[in-house]
């Protein structure tokens, strides 16, 4: 009787499975465990996570790692993936020519045109000229209201020559619009929470607009509206179009007519990608994801992909190449980028020179790339493990074959069988036929690309929260005692929810709620999350399966088992199932050994393959 | 029948006028009505609890001296939304704004930008 362990080192997690083999060749699975991979897959740093996972697994059956008789490592696929984002357009404001934001409480409604008048300079104002008053937070709301009531015209006197100065709109730095409005006699549109009010210049003509409750601005988000209010020529109207575009959807806005001031929409030099395949093709990144993928398909069998030097894409491609060459230090190392996945996306980018933190949606392309080398130094890891654990350690079996073997333990499967291994860095597919013959492929783009897309499209500050959004369902805390789930269901709680979560969108994790700091509606987050998953996984599933299918035809595949970390996701398997219905493919999340879910396929396969080898020997 | 307009209640005892004024300004900026009443109770939490219980909107503030506390109806004893013993101007404004945001079901402000 002996204990056999299978170890699968993945891009993001290391999984182990331990089985007991009796003398007459009966195998019983005892335990399994997983923990995050330490270091890059295929490096000696992985030893820590392997030992850790083995310890965890063995302690579950009350044993020590020294009780193991054999550890079997997977011959990890020599691929690593990386992702990058390239913004294709940028918006730049020169001389602060607009403000457009959504303060929670502006006051008054309508639009007005006037000259900017700083409250300190109110004595220089003359009757008969319309003014837009600007006040910094140094002035209290009572002071501002008093000044306006003293110098400003009242509704009755505004049309008389000596009625006082004509204040048609107000811009405030503090959040006090309603307080000021309640204390002034003549009602005008008021915008507050303008952080960089110090950049407003005295005497500049400006147009101000506050939308009706529940609506967004109409005049200033329309180029002809701006032209009407500020009296622009056709040429000038053309130049304000980007301003109008970036003000769409805002509840309040100011547009300034500064002579030299302008807003530019630049198309950034994005760089080119070179495909070296059956045909050599060059494509510019700003052609968009679809064209890039078309070009790659046309290039046929890809030998290598490179990027224009000194561009973002060029740097990214050379970065992952160097990363891989550090793993395989042998001089004859043959490191090539064999696949990329490009996805179109929009990223909210902070406009440089903005007065109130405005952002503009810019076009961007997200790219995942994958490098392949001849072999990862798995033997080094095995030797190190052998020394540390004092047991037999063997590198055995190709990853995809082991995964297929493991996947076959899912109840209801039979040969021929296709597996789709959706991990963090790459999406792998394999078809195993009755005669044991295996077709396999590795594709760039998986979980990490999804996280990156979620992060950029929602404008999140860090990657970690994007990962969490990918993994967990959302809810909105509607009161201290109940919340609404993203599917509309309501949940009530006995003990009041922490006020920090009140009114916020939260993620429901195993260890409680996580708050999303950015104020983004729940529906928007759900939509972005689903789109990102669909763009990456559905596209890649078709790409990968088509490559391994007999005669490149999906209809020749009858069963697909989904394995790997991303198959555990709460919605990706359903998305794929829907996408495959047209091809009459049985597709579903794997359930390894009928109990493990989609994880642990490779580790299980490694233990199973031991039986096969032993059988062969005896 | 007594008809009360929907408003946030502020129950006070020897309230510091500056604190009360800024709290009221915070509520006013959010566009919600408020009512103040004097109660002989020396505990900001009890004052806030009663104010929240009596307010039709379920949001109440208690002020004793400079100590100020925000509560919502149904919240257990010892659990306040926000409270300060000697608040500064922005903290007072914040507590007022948050009492109104509680009703509008908007996230609480952590820092009022003056």
On whether both A68 and A111 belong to a single domain, the answer is no
On whether both A361 and A337 belong to a single domain, the answer is yes
Of A311, A339, A370, the one marking the end of a domain is A370
- Rounded mean pLDDT of chain A? 85
For the record, the structure tokens of A354 come out as: 């903005």
Q: Which residue of B has its CA nearest to A179?
A: B29
Strands A392-398 and A70-75, bridge-based pairing: parallel
Confidence check: pLDDT of A282 > 70: yes
Confidence check: pLDDT of A356 > 80: no
More confident residue, A327 or A32: A32
Residue A527 falls inside a structural domain = no
On whether both A156 and A184 belong to a single domain, the answer is yes
On whether both A303 and A353 belong to a single domain, the answer is yes
Q: What mean pLDDT is predicted for residues A224-252?
A: 85
Residue A191 falls inside a structural domain = yes
Of A481, A498, A520, the one marking the end of a domain is A520
On whether both A244 and A151 belong to a single domain, the answer is yes
Q: With CA atoms as reference, report the closest residue to A376 among A10, A101, A18.
A: A10
The values of phi and psi at residue B76, to 5°, are: -65, 160
CA distance B7 to B58: 9
Residue A544 falls inside a structural domain = no
* Residues of chain A contacting B30 with CB distance shorter than 8 Å: 104-105, 178
Query: Chain centroid to CA A358: how far?
Result: 21
Of A338, A370, A402, the one marking the end of a domain is A370
Number of structural domains chain A divides into: 4
More confident residue, A616 or A376: A376
Confidence check: pLDDT of A154 > 90: no
Q: Do B107 and A176 touch (CB under 8 A)?
A: no
Residue A156 falls inside a structural domain = yes
The values of phi and psi at residue A307, to 5°, are: -125, 160
Give me the CATH number covering residue A605.
3.30.420.40
Q: Do A495 and B76 touch (CB under 8 A)?
A: yes
CA distance A289 to A295: 10
Test the A interface: residue of B107, B108, B111 with most A CBs within 10 Å:
B107
* Residues of chain B contacting A479 with CB distance shorter than 8 Å: 105
> What percentage of chain B exceeds 90 in pLDDT?
69
Segments making up each domain of chain B, as ranges? 8-66+76-104
In this structure, the number of other CB atoms found within 10 A of the CB of residue A187 comes to: 12
**Could you tell me which residues are beta bridge partners of residue A267?**
A89
> What pLDDT, in 10s, does the model give residues A582-603?
888 888 899 998 888 888 888 8
When CB atoms are compared, the residue of B30, B81, B114 closest to A174 is: B114
Residue A534 has what pLDDT? 93
Residue A236 has what pLDDT? 82
Residue A144 falls inside a structural domain = yes
On whether both A138 and A212 belong to a single domain, the answer is yes
On whether both A116 and A157 belong to a single domain, the answer is yes
Provide the domain limits for residue A19.
1-77+375-411+599-618
Q: Do A178 and B74 touch (CB under 8 A)?
A: no
> What pLDDT, in 10s, does the model give residues B39-54?
998 899 999 999 999 9
On whether both A113 and A220 belong to a single domain, the answer is yes
**Could you tell me which residues are beta bridge partners of residue A116?**
A132
Q: What mean pLDDT is predicted for residues B93-105?
A: 93
Confidence check: pLDDT of B64 > 70: yes
> What pLDDT, in 10s, does the model give residues A522-573?
999 999 999 999 999 999 999 899 889 888 888 888 889 999 888 889 999 9
Give me the CATH number covering residue A190.
3.50.30.70
* Residues of chain A contacting B28 with CB distance shorter than 8 Å: 178-179, 182
Residue A287 falls inside a structural domain = yes
On whether both A126 and A257 belong to a single domain, the answer is yes
pLDDT bin (cut points 50, 70, 90) of residue A618 is very low
* CATH 3.40.50.10150 correct for B8-66+76-104: yes
For the record, the structure tokens of A328 come out as: 């395989």
On whether both A141 and A277 belong to a single domain, the answer is no
Q: Among A29-33, A208-212, A376-380, which stretch is predicted with the lowest mean pLDDT?
A: A376-380
Report the complex ipTM.
0.90
């Amino acid at each position: 009787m002996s204990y056999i362990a299978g170890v699968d080192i993945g891009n993001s997690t290391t999984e182990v499975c331990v089985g007991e083999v009796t003398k007459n060749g009966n195998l019983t699975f005892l335990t399994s465990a997983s923990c995050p991979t330490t270091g890059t897959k295929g490096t000696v740093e992985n030893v820590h996570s392997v030992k850790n996972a083995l310890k965890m697994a063995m302690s579950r059956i009350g044993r020590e790692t020294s009780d193991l008789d054999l550890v079997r490592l997977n011959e990890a696929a020599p691929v690593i993936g990386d992702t990058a984002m390239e913004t294709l357009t940028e918006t730049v404001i020169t001389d602060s020519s607009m403000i457009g934001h959504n303060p929670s409480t502006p006051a008054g409604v309508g639009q007005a045109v006037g000259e900017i008048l700083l409250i300190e300079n109110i004595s220089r104002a003359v009757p008969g000229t319309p003014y837009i008053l600007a006040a910094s937070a140094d002035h209290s709301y009572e002071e501002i209201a008093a000044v306006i009531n003293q110098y400003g015209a009242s509704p009755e006197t505004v049309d008389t020559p000596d009625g006082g100065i004509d204040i048609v709109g107000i811009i405030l730095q503090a959040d006090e619009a309603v307080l000021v409005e309640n204390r002034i006699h003549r009602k005008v549109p008021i915008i507050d929470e303008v952080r960089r009010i110090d950049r407003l210049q005295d005497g500049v003509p400006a147009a101000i607009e506050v939308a009706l409750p529940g609506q967004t601005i109409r005049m200033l988000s329309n180029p002809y509206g701006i032209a009407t209010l500020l009296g622009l020529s056709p040429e000038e109207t053309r130049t304000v179009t980007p301003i109008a575009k970036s003000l769409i959807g805002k509840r309040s806005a100011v547009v300034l007519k500064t002579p030299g001031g302008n807003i530019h929409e630049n198309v950034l030099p994005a760089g080119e990608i070179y495909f070296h395949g059956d045909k050599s093709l060059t494509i510019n990144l700003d052609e968009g994801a679809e064209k890039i993928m078309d070009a790659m398909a046309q290039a046929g069998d890809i030998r290598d992909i490179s990027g224009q030097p000194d561009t973002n894409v060029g740097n990214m491609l050379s970065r992952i190449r160097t990363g891989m060459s550090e793993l395989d230090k042998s001089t004859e190392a043959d490191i090539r980028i064999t696949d990329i996945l490009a996805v179109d996306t929009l990223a909210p980018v902070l406009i440089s020179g903005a007065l109130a933190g405005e952002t503009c949606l810019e076009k961007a392309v997200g790219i995942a790339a994958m490098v392949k080398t001849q072999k990862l130094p798995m033997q080094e890891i095995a030797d190190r493990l052998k020394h540390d654990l004092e047991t037999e350690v063997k590198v055995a079996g190709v990853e995809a074959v082991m995964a297929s073997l493991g996947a076959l333990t899912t109840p209801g499967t039979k040969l021929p069988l296709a597996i789709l291994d959706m991990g963090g860095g790459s999406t792998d597919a394999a078809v195993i036929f009755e005669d044991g013959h295996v077709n396999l492929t590795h594709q760039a783009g998986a979980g990490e690309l999804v996280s990156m897309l979620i992060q950029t499209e929602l404008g999140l500050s860090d990657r970690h929260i994007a990962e969490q959004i990918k993994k967990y369902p959302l809810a909105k805390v509607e009161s201290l005692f109940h919340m609404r789930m993203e599917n509309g269901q309501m949940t009530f709680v006995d003990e009041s929810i922490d006020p920090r979560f009140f009114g916020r969108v939260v993620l429901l994790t195993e260890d409680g709620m996580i708050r999303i700091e950015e104020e983004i509606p729940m529906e928007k987050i759900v939509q972005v999350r689903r789109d990102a998953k669909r763009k990456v996984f559905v596209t890649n599933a078709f790409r990968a399966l088509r490559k391994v299918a007999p005669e490149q035809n999906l209809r020749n595949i009858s069963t697909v088992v989904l394995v790997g970390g991303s198959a555990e996701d709460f919605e990706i398997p359903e998305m794929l199932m829907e996408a495959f219905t047209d091809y009459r493919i049985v597709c579903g999340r794997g359930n390894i050994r009928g109990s493990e879910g989609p994880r642990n396929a490779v580790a299980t396969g490694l233990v199973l393959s031991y039986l096969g080898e032993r059988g062969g020997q005896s | 029948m007594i008809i009360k307009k929907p408003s946030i209640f502020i129950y006070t005892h020897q309230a510091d006028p500056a604190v009360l004024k800024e709290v009221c300004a915070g509520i006013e900026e959010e566009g919600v009505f408020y009512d103040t009443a004097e109660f002989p109770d020396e505990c900001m939490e009890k004052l806030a609890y009663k104010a929240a219980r009596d307010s039709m909107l379920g949001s109440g503030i208690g002020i004793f001296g400079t100590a100020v506390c925000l509560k919502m109806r149904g919240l257990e004893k010892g659990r306040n939304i926000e409270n300060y013993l000697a608040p500064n101007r922005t903290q007072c404004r914040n507590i007022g704004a948050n009492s109104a945001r509680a009703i509008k079901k908007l996230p609480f402000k952590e820092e009022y930008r003056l």
